[in-house]
Chains A and B, each alone.
Chain A
Amino acid sequence: MTGLDVRVEALEMVYEVDGEQVHALRGVDLEIAAGSSMALLGPSGSGKSSLLTLLAGLQKPTSGRALIGGQDVSAMSERALLALRAREVGVVMQGPARNLLPYANAEDNVRFAQRAVPRDRRDRLRSPADLLEQLGLGHVRRSRLGALSGGEQQRLSLAVGLAGAPGLLLADEPTSQLDAVNRAHVVEMLVTAAAGGTTIVVVTHDEHIASQVDRTLALRDGEIVS
């Protein structure tokens, strides 16, 4: 797996709420080397999730640029963004409900993610069963979502994010609401992915994750504070 480097230049994000402007990000500059892992820390409302969604191309910045593997996602068309996410970027949103098909079993959820990957890359992917086995979810691969525990659903979300063997994994709070055992599992999965060459960007409050990544970055009121 070849990781993608990430570069953010003077990124500004301004929302309008009830006629008032809210600055989610204020001129953020950032560089993440390919294959490295980084945790974004900060209190609620500091702009962590906004930065993540901008990197995922889910929204456009007010100004500035975000480059992934040298491509400016803030200037890309919707179609190009879809292709980028299908080929290169795995995204894990907060909460399993945003990441999984509720009526599909674990294996089908992985398969669903893999089907978005272009055909020329699809044969290099691990089978859903292998991937789930490797990530410690082999025993639930045929289980419906409702039969999985919260921790298993969270881990499955991460597995789905990694299903397309992305060069960049963006994960928002992957360990929230998890017990220590499951948290350890998730961290292990992230570490394994990073070891495989995937660039990892994690939004988290979890100090344990922060301790396991190459670099941490703290945000407050939309600015990098450390």
Chain B
Amino acid sequence: MPSLTLALRALWYRRGVSLAVLLVATITTAAAAAGALYQRAGGESVLRDALTAAPVSTSGIEVTSADLPQNDPLGSLQKQLAKAGPPFAHTRRVLSLQNSLDAGGKQGPARTRLLWREGACEHLRITAGHCPTGPQDALISTRMMRSTGFGIGSQITGCPGAQTYFGACSQPGGSVRVRVVGTYALPEADPYWFDGPYFEAHSGNNDQPDTLDATFLSRDGADHLPATAYLTAVAQYRLDPATVRLDDEARLRAQVTHFTNTLEAGQDGTRALTSLPTVLDKADADRRDLGRSVLVVTLQLVALAFVVLRLVVADASEARGGEVALAKLRGYRAGPTLLLGLLEPIVLLVLAVPLGLLAADVAVRLLGDAVLAPGTPVVIRSPSLLAAAGALAGGLVAAAYAGRRLLTRPVLEQWRRTGDVQPGRAGTVIEMLVGMGSLIGLVALLSRGVLHEGSHSALPLLVPLLLVVVVAVLGVRLLPAVCATLVRRTRASSRLGPFLAVRTVARRPAGLRLAALLAVAVGLATFAVDGSLVAAGNRAERASTDVGAAKVVIVRTEGTADLRRLVRRVDPDGTWAMAAELWLPFGGMRGTVLAVDSDAFAHVAHWRDDFAPLSQPKLAAAIGGPAPSRLLLTGDAVAVDLTPVTLPTPTHDVQLLVTGAHGQQTLPLGELRAGTHRYAARLPACGTGCTLDGIVVPPGGQSGADVKGALRISGISDHRAGAWHLLPVDLGEPGAWHQQLVSSPATSEVTPLPNGLTWRFSVSGGDVPVLLRSTLPWPLHVAAGRDAVLDPALPAVANFDGLSVPIDPVTAVDVVPQQGQQSSLVDLDFVRIALPRFEEFATQQVWLSDAAPRDAVERLRATGLQIVDTRTTTAQRALLDRSAPALGLLLFAFAAAAAAVLAAGATAVALYLSGRRRSFELAAMLVVGAPRRSLLAAAVGEQLLVLGTALVLGVTGGLAAALLVLPAVPELPEGGAPALRYAPHVGGLTLFLVVLAAVVVATAAGAALGLLRQARPGLLREAAP
């Protein structure tokens, strides 16, 4: 009985082959175990990302109770919460009491939210005074201080709740009076605030007062509010995504359901709101997608690994043929002989189990560190152990198959074999069956339509393997035939090397199976390289489009500060920073409108050529201008030549709006009269220049009447140096004039004339007709998203206060950076002029390009901008890189790399083991006088033919698979823009091919040199009997 010691010595003696077998077995085990491990870790990552990406109010739970006893609403809510128990472990709960307060401010009536919030002062920066402690104390924002005129020490009096009535509260004794004791700066993004609308001050409209930032009270203050305040008690539970594991999910769902049901069953008016189940459902769906991809990829890799393992184990067993023959010669029975033949592979296979598990663990950990969500746990669990056991069983089956051949082969034949396994008939049949099976599978998959773009199925990932197997198996079968043809051609040549090379391949195609295997590995690697690069490009593109620029900073400005000006203060040329405001119009247009500093747009915003028919600079120019020329007055008087076409009734005056050093002034020109007259007025100190802003036709009699009329303006003159000078402008320039927008029904028509214009107007409800000189292209230029304009006959965009601005969709835009489809672009300056209050409902942003200095955000902060949040393309890219589809593709790439290593291992073993036979042949040739150089050429040529064929077939199959399959392989989460691109990544593929070709040439040359080195004439003395 051969001993284990002897087996270990044998392992060391054949350490090269042993290492290759161990490597292949380890990779096989690792491949099997890593699939399960990766699926688990990927699932954890997907879950964590889903929870992290969800707004805190979505993944958390908010419990509100409006109908609680007003003497202690919070205590009452707390009792209910205690009964329901915490909804999840490690939760952070914040309690608050709140209601609104209608009070008067500097600008008129306004509404603030009265709020006591547990721990609020720890999350606010107090700019003056102190936190509220007494029952009357209040803390207001600096913004509120400026807009209302309230300051420290001010009394705020108002009516709480929905009793909106200015002057007096509807409930007797219901008024609230607090004293401002401090001010706070608006806070930056902080999950503590639970996405609450505490700092969203904006103007009201006709029905509602202005909304102010929240006013913070002490707990005493909240408790001392009158009972009529009807405070709402709120408890917010924040989920810490880092504490949630997949194992916790079912329990988490059950706890949340129990919590919400208990609360809602307990007290009328208590509501528990959460979207956590929806978030978990989405994560589940993504995880299932990932699971399917992992299964498909792992099965392919394991199948391939098993084929390689079988070949390598068979080769390694063949290498022991001489020893098995010796055992038979000595008379060993079948059992010990088999053990002698298989002990080494078995030792290696068993050793590969812990190594494979370790390798899988390390690989998935490394992958996890690089790609998965930070802190994703990687734990070996029973599925991985079972997979490893399965791999071991597969290896043992392969060993048993190899052992059967060893046992049944006669001793002398065993000696004659020197490590080169000829493909037997059974092997050929299996190969053809695999080829045909793959072909049938491929046709079946294609006919089932798995390659439909956006199918979001994992099955397309099966197609590359099937395709490359078909190409490889059928392709390598042609090699001997091709070489047979070449034999005839090279026979007549004086060069021995090529003849010997093609003859060897044509007559003894022992390397075909290896070539097929290599071709499959190269094919998968080609597909994986191209697929990974293409998908990485698409993810990068999506990330950039999602964010809009390299970095986007969400900011807040105080009051009516001009964001563009503030940004231009840090980047005067607009080359790396761009102001942008995102706005959802209240009418006229569908989708969001992104208002941008159009001069900076081309420098800062991400762009791709298919986003719009126009290039980025041209699109920016289209929305950005030019504005009509200003009407500049420098004299001491101004005159307008007017002819009432239809005299407005009753009598009307006419006035001019002029802006000079002291702001805008109204200059009366007198009463309108029939016929053409020059109406003149003195200019107030316009030596340095004033601008004529517009013409007003105020009613001369009672107000409130409808006004209708038409005026022809034929000239505007400036009185300088004692003479009138007509302004050198074309008064009829299209878009140069427009009637001031009013909220009541109004019509206006400006008709250009050769020497002026005619203005027909109609206003109602007491509004005054005003013809304004446009300071922006009029109608407002818009790059409109597809179907964004709701009424193409009267394109317009409306603000929340009812103002509607006509728009000119100067160009279409398919994708707006950050906003994707269904969005439009306008110039920020122009929209501010056209709709001055649009900003109150806009999200203010500063976009930064890659060229922005490192301290760009600090520079912005220094201008007084408040930084709310920051998004970067890098972070978004990282998020996309670990989305379920990306993780599936990544595993495919790793599987292909593993397949390539496996194939390389198999090649190394095969070359090493076949070396002995080939060295005998070469030695014989040397003895009969063949030149060494020719033999080297023959050996190199033979290896190049086999390996090169594998390379060509593999690359062809892989490229075909990439072109065919990539559009159907899920690359990114569903939806989003821009459209994905699938053109082969020429640069990456070229580099890959060059490296691959270099490896093949080096391998062929190395193997040939090694053979020739071994080929000594002395070898022939050991020739077979």
Contacts and interface: CB of A to CB of B under 8 A. Distances in A.
Most buried by B among A56, A101, A177: A101
A117 to B, nearest CB: 8
Interface stretch (B173-181, B408-416, B421-429, B571-579): B408-416
A178 to B, nearest CB: 13
A84 interface: yes
Nearest to B332: A116
Interface string B294-330: 0000000000000000000000000000110111111
Given A97-B1022, A101-B323, A82 B328 contact: yes
Interface string A74-91: 000001001111110101
Contacts of B1025: 49, 53, 94
Given A102-B13, A103-B13, A59 B329 contact: no
Interface in B328-376: 328-334, 336
A53 B412 contact: yes
A113 interface: yes
Interface in B982-1025: 1021-1022, 1025
B329 A85 contact: yes
Nearest to B331: A86
A83 to B, nearest CB: 7
A65 to B, nearest CB: 20
B83 interface: no
B333 A112 contact: no
Contact of A83 (B2, B322, B331): B331
Interface size class of A (residues with CB under 8 A): 20 to 34
A101 B332 CA distance: 14
B846 to A, nearest CB: 73
A82 B1022 contact: no
B39 to A, nearest CB: 43
A177 B1021 CA distance: 10
B326 A99 contact: yes
A93 interface: yes
Interface string B395-434: 0000000000000001110010000000000000000000
Interface stretch (B4-12, B70-78, B442-450, B889-897): B4-12
A104 to B, nearest CB: 6
A208 interface: no
A112 B6 contact: yes
A58 interface: yes
A104 B1021 contact: no
A86 B412 contact: no
B82 interface: no
A98 B411 CA distance: 11
B410 A59 contact: yes
A108 interface: yes
A69 interface: no
B1 interface: yes
Given A59-B410, A95-B1021, A97-B322, A103 B12 contact: yes
Contacts of B1022: 95, 97
Most buried by A among B13, B325, B326, B1022: B326
A28 B858 CA distance: 105
B410 A115 contact: no
A87 B410 CA distance: 20
Contacts of B329: 56, 58, 85, 91, 93, 98-99
B9 A113 contact: no
A142 to B, nearest CB: 13
Contacts of B325: 98
Contacts of A116: 327, 330-332, 336
Interface in A51-66: 53, 56, 58-59
B252 to A, nearest CB: 59
Given A58-B411, A95-B1022, A104-B6, A85 B326 contact: no
Contacts of B9: 103-104
Nearest to A87: B331
A98 B412 CA distance: 10
A77 B597 CA distance: 96
7 A-B pairs with least C-beta separation: A86-B331, A103-B13, A85-B331, A116-B330, A103-B9, A116-B331, A82-B331
6 contacts: A82-B333, A99-B326, A103-B10, A104-B9, A112-B6, A113-B330
Given A49-B1025, A59-B412, 10 more contacts: A82-B331, A82-B333, A85-B329, A86-B331, A98-B329, A101-B6, A101-B323, A115-B332, A115-B336, A116-B331
Interface of A: 49, 53, 56, 58-59, 79, 82-87, 89, 91, 93-95, 97-104, 108, 112-113, 115-117, 164, 177
